[in-house]
Structure 1
Amino acid sequence: MMYPTACYKFQRSLTHSKMVTMYGIWCFITVLLFSPVAFSELCNPQDKKVLLQIKKDFNNPYLLASWNPNTDCCNWYCVQCHPETHRINSLVILSSVPQTNLSGPIPPSVGDLPFLETLQFHKLPKLTGPIQPTIAKLTKLKEIYISWTNVSGPVPDFLARLTNLQFLDLSFNNLSGPIPSSLSQLSNLVSLRLDRNRLTGPIPESFGSFKKPGPSLWLSHNQLSGPIPASLANIDPQRIDFSRNKLEGDASVLFGRNKTTQIVDVSRNSLAFDLSKVEFPTSLISLDLNHNQITGSIPVGLTAVDFLQGFNVSYNRLCGEIPQGGRLQKFDVYSYFHNKCLCGSPLTSCK
């Protein structure tokens, strides 16, 4: 402790008549500066009460050990307060340790933090049960990330009420059932991730009515079936990943000369269409069509895609010579092999 020493040095510089008074003032200020009671609590009392209820509902896990009722909840781990209103606007509970003891369903009390803009539960393998219906009350939410958990049940229709949502990530869970068509009502959505679940049924036709350009769509590693909706020709998302499903028919609606899509992966489905008739956007960075039933030839237009970094059309029914030029010869044989009668560099000569 340095406080007595500091007070002693200070008192030597004063006359005896002022020493006692100033000594007391100095030491009183020092105590105030270093005492936790010197700072008023910023956290809203109701928000604090809700957070403590969430901790209790999770059976007081070690992950939330900093949630001490005797401290300011704006300083707690996983929590963020708005700098002006001091209301809780972010709740981000995640773990880098697989053995975390946080378990059980999402507490209903989560819905009692009305100023939340970000809600995240990530890498919590013992988080179970359905997505909590009280989340529908959080109308200020801009971001929901519930990923790498064991949350199950359907993708809830009530999420469409959260019209301020920009990012909805429900990937790497055990969600099942169909994708609600009502999600297309989220006009501010930038990214929709439903990949790595057990979803079934078709891609909703309503997804073509997303406000342009439309959100990036990550629907891979599910059990989705049926055709890719023709309505998707109306949107222009930055990224589309429909890989590893049971989709059938024509995927050419995803492309177009005037689109600005950068990444398309529809690999490992049962898609069947004539590739030679497709016009591709020059904005493409990656195109993966492998393991389908695609026919025709590789269109010459792909040689005009200057920034193509990833390309795979293997395991299809393509024929004809691989067009010369652009970046098509930059890819190895594995990007082209196992086709019906495709030839030319980097495959064997067509002669």
Structure 2
Amino acid sequence: MEVGFCFWAVVLTVITVVNACPPSDRAALLSIKAALHEPHLGIFNSWTGPDCCHGWYGVSCDPYIHRVADINLRGESEDPIFQRAHRVGYMTGSISPAICKLDRLSSLTIADWKGISGEIPKCITSLPFLRTLDLIGNRFTGRIPGDINRLKELTVLNLADNMLTGSIPPSIVKLTRLMHLDLRNNRLSGELPSEMGKLKMMSRALLSGNRLGGPVPVSLSNIYRLSDLDLSLNLLSGQIPDMFDKMPVLASLNLDGNMISGQIPRSLLNSGVSICNLSRNALEGRIPDVFGSKSYFTVLDLSHNRFSGPIPKSISLAAYIGHLDLSHNNLCGPIPGGAPYDHLEASSFVYNTCLCGKPLSKRC
């Protein structure tokens, strides 16, 4: 009996050792832990013992080769550890370059901790299998690594809500698998890469709240899958490219809060865009009278521009317009009756040169 028991104990020990993560991965994780400070939740209390593949909070391993494949640490989570504490997470410190020793890593999420600072380790571009890099909601500074194109498998790049500076690396256009790009609310400057259209797989490009200048790249029309484009609250100039007849799945376009001039492209008003915010720019001329049965807008905001002339009669032919804002322009003439005007308030039309009629108090 004792011999048999010892035999199976040895077998179990061997299996456990074989299925455990290698010492090098464990050492890298402990270096990452040492560079971070999380005072309230104790999420790193589980990072003990010889096997980092089992029971280490936020760490997952490849089931076949038993190497660390995913790190998922999110400071705003529905995990019970957050619910018991009745709080969201707060963490300080930085990301140790030891992260780059986890060379089988496919997903890295260290997000929404609000206090993690320092630069993104430059060596992070040496991780050949990385598909997701999500560092949203921290205080990272410095530049996006210039050789970001080395991450050939990358599909999600989310660096929003940080303090990153410098320009968007031109090499980013070589990330041919990239589907989700979110760089909102940083301090990025310079122009958008003119060849962004090479990102053929991208469905969302969210770049608002930076200091990006120059024109809207015409090459964006080459991204057939692009459904959400947000370039608002930047320093963009020039005209809006007439490209929307080539973008059949684009549903949301936000260009508000820039210095864009010229006229609205006619193709935009009969495209598939349903959320369109062009407010707070320097757009001018007449609003094209080309609305039709394909025009379906849940939001159409053209306020705070320099549009002149009358409100287009064809707006009444649109399939649907929910929220329409034409305020703070130089429009003139009577406000038409019927849909969509019958459900709009005066705030949609105020501060124009000589608009009149309901819902304004000024009679025609």
Q: Please give the TM-score of this superposition, normalised by the length of structure 1.
A: 0.81
Once the two structures are TM-superposed, the CA of residue 241 in structure 1 deviates from its matched residue by 0.3
Q: What pairs up with 1:52-63 in 2 under 5 angstroms?
A: 52-58=30-36, 62-63=42-43
Aligned twin of 1:65:
45
The alpha-carbon distance between structure 1 residues 340 and 276, as it changes in their structure 2 partners (threshold 3 A), is: farther
1:18 corresponds to: none
Runs of 4+ aligned residues of structure 1 deviating over 4 Å after TM superposition are: 36-39, 347-351
Corresponding residue of 2:218: 230
Give 1:292 shift.
1.0
What is the one-letter code of the residue matched to 2:97?
P
Partner AA of 2:21 in structure 1: N
CA distance in 2, matches of 1:265, 1:155: 24
Amino acid at match of 1:48: R
- Provide the secondary structure at the position in 2 that maps to 1:163: coil
Alignment gaps of 5+ in structure 1: 1-20
Corresponding residue for residue 71 of structure 2: 91
User: Deviation of residue 325 (structure 1)?
Assistant: 1.9
Q: Distance in 2 between matches of 1:133 and 1:314?
A: 43
Tell me the equivalent position of 1:133.
122
Aligned length: 320
Q: Post-superposition shift, 1:98?
A: 5.5
C-alpha deviation, 1:70, in angstroms: 4.5
3-state SS in 2 of match to 1:130: coil
Q: CA deviation at 1:52?
A: 1.9
Task: Give, in whole Å, the separation in 1 of the partners of 2:38 and 2:53.
Answer: 15
1:1-351 alignment, distance < 5 Å: 40-41=16-17, 42-45=19-22, 46-58=24-36, 62-96=42-76, 97=87, 100=90, 102-210=91-199, 212=200, 214-236=202-224, 237-253=226-242, 255-256=244-245, 259-275=248-264, 277-280=266-269, 282-305=271-294, 307-318=296-307, 319-322=309-312, 323-327=315-319, 329-332=321-324, 335-341=325-331, 343-345=335-337, 346=341, 347=349, 348-349=356-357
Give, in whole Å, the separation in 1 of the partners of 2:302 and 2:38: 51
- Distance across 1 between alignment mates of 2:142 and 2:72: 22
Task: Rate the CA distance shift 1:330–1:91 in 2: closer, same or farther, 3 A.
Answer: closer
Q: Distance in 1 between matches of 2:36 and 2:265?
A: 56
User: How far, CA to CA, are the matches of 1:329 and 1:69 in structure 2?
Assistant: 60
Deviates more, 1:293-302 or 1:74-83: 293-302
In the TM superposition, residue 240 of structure 1 has moved relative to its aligned partner by 0.6
Deviation at 1:49, TM superposition (A): 2.4
Contact 2:233–2:257 (Cα < 8 Å) also in 1: yes
CA distance in 2, matches of 1:301, 1:76: 59
Structure 2 gaps, min length 5: 77-86, 342-348, 350-355, 359-363
Deviations 1:61-81 (A, max 9, x none): 632111012455332111111
Give the letter for the 2:64 counterpart. Answer: E
- Amino acid corresponding to residue 55 of structure 1 in structure 2: K
The one-character-per-residue Cα deviations of 1:164-189 (angstroms, maximum 9, x if unpaired) are 11110110000011111110000011
How far does the alpha carbon of each residue in 1:242-296 deviate from its partner, in whole angstroms, 9 at most, with x for none? 0001111111345225532111000011111212644446322211111111123
Q: Which amino acid aligns with 1:206?
A: E
Answer yes or no: is the 8 Å Cα contact 2:245–2:271 preserved in 1.
Answer: no
For residues 29-75 of structure 1, what are the alpha-carbon distances to aligned partners after superposition, in whole Å with 9 as ceiling and x for unaligned? 9x98xxx9797252322322221222223368632111012455332
Displacement of 1:217 after TM fit?
1.3
CA distance in 1, matches of 2:250, 2:202: 10
Whichever residue aligns with residue 225 of structure 1, its letter is: G
Paired with 2:239 and 2:180, the residues of 1 have a C-alpha distance of 24
SS in structure 1 of the partner of residue 300 of structure 2: strand
1:154 is aligned with what amino acid? R
CA distance in 1, matches of 2:92, 2:251: 39
Which secondary structure does the structure 2 equivalent of 1:331 belong to? strand
TM-score by length of 2: 0.78
